[in-house]
Chain A
Amino acid sequence: MQRASRLKRELALLSTEPPPGITCWQNENQLDDLRAQILGSADTPYEKGIFNLEIVVPERYPFEPPKIRFLTPIYHPNIDSAGRICLDVLKLPPKGAWRPSLNISTLLTSVQLLMAEPNPDDPLMADISSEYKYNKQLFLINAKEWTKKYASQQKRASEEERNQSETSTKESIPQKRKGSNINKKEKKSRLDS
Chain B
Amino acid sequence: MESSDSSDKGNLDQSEAQRQSQLDRLDREEAFYQFVNNLSEEDYRLMRDNNLLGTPGEITEEELLRRLHQVKEGPPQQNSDENRGAESAEDVSNGDSIIDWLNSVRQTGNTTRSGQRGNQSWRAVSRTNPNSGDFRFSLEINVNRNNGNTNPETENEPSVEPSSGEDLENSQSDSEIPRSESPSIRQPGSERSTSEELTTEEASPPRGQRRARSRSPEQRRTRARTDRSRSPINPVSETPRRAHHNTSSQTLDHSSVNEAEGSSRTRQHVTLRQHTVGTEMPSENAVLFSAPETRPAPQAAGSSETNGSSESATPGQRPPTIVLDLQVRRVRPGEYRQRDSIANRTRSRSQTPNNTVTYESERGGFRRTFSRSERAGVRTYVSTIRIPIRRILNTGLSETTSVAIQTMLRQIMTGFGELSYFMYSDSDADPSGPTPNQNVDASEPQNGGGGSSSNEGTDASSGEVYEGGNEGGSTSGARREGRNTRGSVTFEESGSLPFLSLAQFFLLNEDDDDQPRGLTKEQIDNLTMRNFGESDALKTCSVCITEYTEGNKLRKLPCSHEYHVHCIDRWLSENSTCPICRRAVLASGNRESVV
Interface residue ranges, A against B (CB under 8 Å): 1-6, 8-10, 27-33, 56, 58-59, 62-63, 92-94, 97, 99-101, 103, 167-169, 172
Interface residues of B in 539-554 (CB under 8 A from A): 542-546
Contacts of B10 in A (CB 8 A): 28, 167-169
B582 touches A99 (CB 8 A): yes
Per-position binary interface string of chain B over residues 2-17, scored 1 when its CB falls under 8 Å from any chain A CB and 0 otherwise: 1011111110000110
Chain B residue nearest to A58 in the complex (CB): B2
Asked whether any CB of chain A lies closer than 8 Å to the CB of B66, the reply is no
B567 touches A100 (CB 8 A): yes
B15 touches A29 (CB 8 A): yes
A93 touches B517 (CB 8 A): yes
Chain B residue nearest to A173 in the complex (CB): B6
* Chain B CB within 10 A, most for which of A10, A31, A58: A31
Interface residues of B in 488-522 (CB under 8 A from A): 517
Q: Nearest Cβ in chain A — how far from B277, in angstroms?
A: 24
CA distance A63 to B545 in the complex (A): 13
Contacts of A4 in B (CB 8 A): 22, 25-26, 29, 56-57
CA distance A4 to B542 in the complex (A): 15
Contacts of B543 in A (CB 8 A): 2, 62, 100-101
CA distance A58 to B1 in the complex (A): 10
CA distance A3 to B570 in the complex (A): 13
B579 touches A9 (CB 8 A): no
* Chain B CB within 10 A, most for which of A2, A8, A63: A2
Q: Nearest Cβ in chain B — how far from A177, in angstroms?
A: 13
Chain A to chain B contacts (Cβ below 8 Å), 19 pairs: A1-B567, A4-B25, A4-B26, A5-B26, A5-B29, A28-B9, A28-B15, A29-B16, A32-B1, A32-B5, A62-B544, A92-B575, A99-B571, A99-B577, A99-B578, A99-B580, A100-B579, A101-B542, A169-B7
Please name 18 further chain A to chain B contacts, defined as beta carbons within 8 Å, in addition to the given A6-B544, A100-B579, sorted by A numbering. A2-B56, A3-B57, A4-B26, A4-B57, A5-B26, A5-B29, A5-B56, A5-B57, A27-B9, A28-B15, A31-B22, A59-B55, A99-B571, A99-B577, A101-B542, A101-B580, A167-B10, A168-B10
Contacts of A59 in B (CB 8 A): 1-2, 55
Chain B residue nearest to A3 in the complex (CB): B57
Asked whether any CB of chain A lies closer than 8 Å to the CB of B530, the reply is no
A5 touches B30 (CB 8 A): yes
Contacts of A101 in B (CB 8 A): 542-543, 579-580
Interface residue ranges, B against A (CB under 8 Å): 1-2, 4-10, 15-16, 18-19, 22, 25-26, 29-30, 33, 55-57, 375-376, 517, 542-546, 566-567, 570-571, 574-575, 577-580, 582
Q: Nearest Cβ in chain A — how far from B281, in angstroms?
A: 15
A63 touches B546 (CB 8 A): no
CA distance A101 to B546 in the complex (A): 11
Chain B residue nearest to A172 in the complex (CB): B6
Contacts of B22 in A (CB 8 A): 4, 31
Contacts of A2 in B (CB 8 A): 29, 56, 543-544, 546, 567
CA distance A92 to B577 in the complex (A): 12
A63 touches B5 (CB 8 A): no
CA distance A32 to B1 in the complex (A): 7
Q: Nearest Cβ in chain A — how far from B20, in angstroms?
A: 10
CA distance A94 to B542 in the complex (A): 20
CA distance A63 to B9 in the complex (A): 25
Contacts of A30 in B (CB 8 A): 1, 4-5, 9, 15, 18
Chain A residue nearest to B375 in the complex (CB): A94
Cβ-neighbour of B55 out of A1, A6, A29 (below 8 A):
A1
Q: Nearest Cβ in chain A — how far from B499, in angstroms?
A: 33
Contacts of A172 in B (CB 8 A): 6, 9
A97 touches B30 (CB 8 A): no
Q: Nearest Cβ in chain B — how far from A36, in angstroms?
A: 15
Cβ-neighbour of A56 out of B5, B33, B575 (below 8 A):
B5
Contacts of B570 in A (CB 8 A): 1, 63
CA distance A2 to B543 in the complex (A): 8
A29 touches B517 (CB 8 A): no
Contacts of A1 in B (CB 8 A): 55-56, 566-567, 570
